[in-house]
Amino acid sequence: MRNVEVLANDKVVANHVTFPYNLSAYAVGYDPLNPTLSIKIRVTDTGGNSTFSNTFVYTAIADTIAPTVSSITVPPVHSGPKSVSINFSESVQFTGSPFSIIGAGPDHQFGTNDDIVVAVTGAQLRNRSRVVQLTNSALAPGQYRIVVAPSAVTDIAGNPLSTGMFTGSLTVLQAPPTIGYYTDSNSDSTGPNAPILLAGFTPIHIDDISSFDLSTIDILMIDESSNGSLNSPLQNREPDIAAWVASGGKIVIHDRAVQNLILIAGGSTITLTRSLGSDLNIANSPNLVTAGPFGNVTNTNLDGGNSSDHGWALQSSLPAGSTTFLIAGTDPTHAAAFSYHFCTGFVYYSTIPLDYYLDLQGSTNLNDALGKIYLPNVLMFVNGA
Ligand SMILES: [Ca+2]
Ligand SMILES: [Ca+2]
Ligand SMILES: [Ca+2]
């Protein structure tokens, strides 16, 4: 078969050359004195031989039903939706540039001084003219109104959308922050995935730290699973990671080696001692890590691990303004989990061998306490820091 045509009153109104030949056409040119509409199909083969279907006869009636807006949609894009689509009840046409987008602005109210006019630079008819797709600037999270000028949009018969101003609204939600995680010496591990999801964030598994683009994530989480030194791919990225944190990045480190990982985040003055322990205790109570939205870390529920911590930082060596959350053993000068600002960035560091428990190799109690309470609390805290 070469093509299939639809004829209305003996005029070709649609023609398809590809399977499955779903044809549609507008019954335009309605004449109230002669409302009869005869429809037939013509099929032509590749040799040029054609045949007609039966003729179907209908009595046409004028379209007096005004079009309506059935929905307004935006694609879910992390960087802020573009291309607002206005979906209509039927095919429409418009003249000029009748579409505008108004943002409610910081006060979340329309009609106030901080309202924002979003640039609309184009409007295209899609899906047999049932959709108008706007070309607009990216929409930051917030509330918006889509405004259509009066009478500027009509159906094909010329019935206007509305005699007044049409407005429809949409809300653009904040995309959840993304957390890139890398388990040094065991980069295949997906152990951090579940706690990150539980905390409401988007996990990004970093397999290869050597080429990873840090600008694509909000928080970098590094678990050192080696008891010795950093692997060379991570070592080679130290300057990049340090620069990223210094310029506003947030990093969460859990370090089995308790050696030089802290150097990647402005910790060169910190005095570390590597010593395996099984007794963690709360340093300052309450704090957002130990009494967070996912439950409480207590003086006992992280104890008894093999090990619970791999040592400590000397409290007096921590950068000015640090906060200590957990101590190793009962000596208050032995910080096992702490945070500090580094330039415009933020650092959370702990000597807990977290990778082991996120890979569910410890007891169920410890795996749960670290994966379902402690780490989600840490991530919420760091995200809000
Ligand atoms: Ca109509
Ligand atoms: Ca406003
Ligand atoms: Ca304890």
In a domain, 64, yes or no: no
- My answer on whether 150 and 239 are in the same domain is no
Same domain, 159 and 24: no
| Structural domain count, the chain | 3
Predicted confidence (pLDDT) per residue in 248-301, tens digit: 999 999 999 998 777 778 888 899 999 999 999 999 777 889 999 999 999 999
Co-location of 149 and 223 in the same domain: no
pLDDT-wise least confident of 126-140, 141-155, 288-302, 362-376: 141-155
Q: Residue 163: is its pLDDT beyond 60?
A: no
pLDDT tens digits, 306-345:
999 999 999 999 999 999 999 999 999 999 999 999 999 9
182 and 294 co-located in one domain: yes
User: Do both 99 and 186 map to the same domain?
Assistant: no
Statement to judge: residues 41 and 93 lie in one domain: no
CATH code, 109: 2.60.40.1220
Dihedral sign for Cα 372, 332, 273, 240, please: positive
C-alpha distances out from residue 87 to 84, 110, 157, 202, 237, Å: 10, 23, 18, 30, 48
How many angstroms separate the alpha carbon of residue 157 from the centre of ligand 1? 7
Mark whether 226 and 318 lie in a shared domain. yes
Is residue 367's pLDDT more than 60?
yes
Residue 235 pLDDT: 92
| CA 65–ligand 1 middle distance (angstroms) | 4
- CA of 290 from ligand 2 middle (Å) equals 39
Identify whether residues 355 and 375 lie together within a single domain: yes
Q: Which residues surround ligand 3, an ion (CB under 5 A)?
A: 279, 281, 299, 303
Task: Give 152 Cα–ligand 1 centroid separation in angstroms.
Answer: 15
Examine residue 285 and state whether it is found in any structural domain, yes or no.
Answer: yes
Query: If you measure from the C-alpha of residue 90 to the centroid of ligand 1, how many angstroms do you get, rounded to a whole number?
Result: 7
Q: What is the mean pLDDT of the chain?
A: 90
- The answer on 206 and 238 residing in a single domain is yes
For residues 220 and 336, state if they share a domain: yes
Does 191 lie in the same domain as 146? no
- 257 with 376, same domain: the answer is yes
Q: Residue 74: which domain range? A: 69-172
Q: Is the pTM of this model over 0.85?
A: no
Does position 175 have pLDDT exceeding 80, yes or no? no
Q: Tell me, what amino acid is at 75?
A: P
CATH number, domain with residue 244? 3.40.50.880
According to the model, what pLDDT value does residue 230 have? 87
Distance 17 CA to ligand 1 centre (A): 29
pLDDT at 193: 96
Q: Give pLDDT tens digits for 77-92.
A: 555 667 889 999 999 9
Instruction: Please identify every residue whose CB atom is under 5 Å from ligand 1, which is an ion.
Output: 63, 65, 155
Task: Burial-class residue 372 by CB neighbours within 10 Å (0-12, 13-18, 19+).
Answer: middle
Residues 6+ apart with CB under 8 A from 23: 4, 5, 6, 14, 15, 16, 41
> Which ligand places an atom closest to the C-alpha of 155?
1
How much is the average pLDDT of 237-242? 93
